[in-house]
Amino acid sequence: MKAQIIFGTIVLLGMTLCAVAAEKRTYPCHRLAQTPALDGKLDDAAWKDSPDATGFYIYKAGGSDKYALEKQTCFKAGWTEDALYIAVRAEESAPEKLMTAAKDNGEVWGDDSIELFFFPAAARNYTQLVVNSAGRRYNGRGYESINLLDWEAKAVVDKTEWRVELRIPFAVLMAQSPKEGDEWAVNIARNLLTGPDGERHTCWPLLQAGFHDAPNFGRFVFKGAAGDKVTEEEKINGSYVLDMQREVRELADMAGKYEQELDEAQKSEKMQAEAEELRRTWEQAAKAVNTTNTLPDMRELRTALQTSASLVSTNLQQKSDDCIGRGMLETLFKD
């Protein structure tokens, strides 16, 4: 009997894990009270109640549950009687390096760009739209290019991000105006050429076989007027926030050790500035951990992780060990 109970528990656990793995990312796409101004600013009243979705995954063949860390992407969406509206923010610390070589209906996906895929329930195939940071566009149906640019996109580049705002008539997507409760398969993805190399391709759904992996697209659920934005964002982005919290907590658990050892490194004139900077980062990581039952602040977690990871070459722990090691050598061989 005991063995049967244990076996049953294992089966139920396996079923639960499979259900979690199979769950599609879902976004509540609300009907807009007014039409957004298509200017790429994303600051008009039409967007104020639409929830933000973020936590793009680093794409890897076969699937990857690692989130982009240095340059995240977020979007919001809404609809009117005749069109779908999408607003995307792409974090960018080196806007002067953005690649914009392609022309309209050229290989826009080879630039710094956003790719959008929509598969309405009644459509025969999915539609692919691509827009780069200069606002140049490409469209395809499945894997085939189509000479159709009956949709609008406005891109704006700032010092810390580039943004794009799109208006996509439902006719372009081979769809009728949706009804409340309708669901569409959707993928929103990003091509990043400015680095880091590890974040070259990112996507909102957890894809297995490239950006065209339609069976693993996320879901837009069409709804009426927007409701509780804060609650919706907690639901949409909850797993991403909790993953960041786990990573920051792992860093914070080591902070005490490095605080003490970096004290010694700070005594070296050559190492002082580096050791102080590393100490501040460890302190920031420890401070960002929220021990209450509520979700911690996403921006604080992001800042702690971005500051601490030194994403291209080495991580905070390695840098700290290196700093301490060089400080000890200097002490040992000091005249």
pLDDT in tens, 51-84: 999 999 999 998 888 999 889 999 999 999 999 9
The bridge status of strand 183-191 relative to strand 152-157 is unpaired
Tens-place pLDDT, residues 308-332: 554 333 477 888 888 888 888 877 7
What are the structural domains, with CATH classification, of the chain? 25-227 (2.60.40.1190), 235-332 (no CATH)
Place of tokens 């050791």: 275
Contacts of 305 by beta carbon, 8 Å cutoff, 6+ apart: 69, 244, 247, 248
Distance CA 164, CA 90 (A): 9
Mean pLDDT of 163-183: 97
Closest CA to 47 of 215, 165, 212: 165
pLDDT for 307 equals 62
Instruction: Please say whether the beta carbons of 78 and 32 come within 8 A.
Output: yes
Place of tokens 């990003």: 190
Closest CA to 129 of 201, 187, 177: 187
Place of tokens 């894809």: 207
pLDDT for 113 equals 98
Cis peptide before 51 (omega within 30 of 0): no
Structure tokens at 215: 């069976």
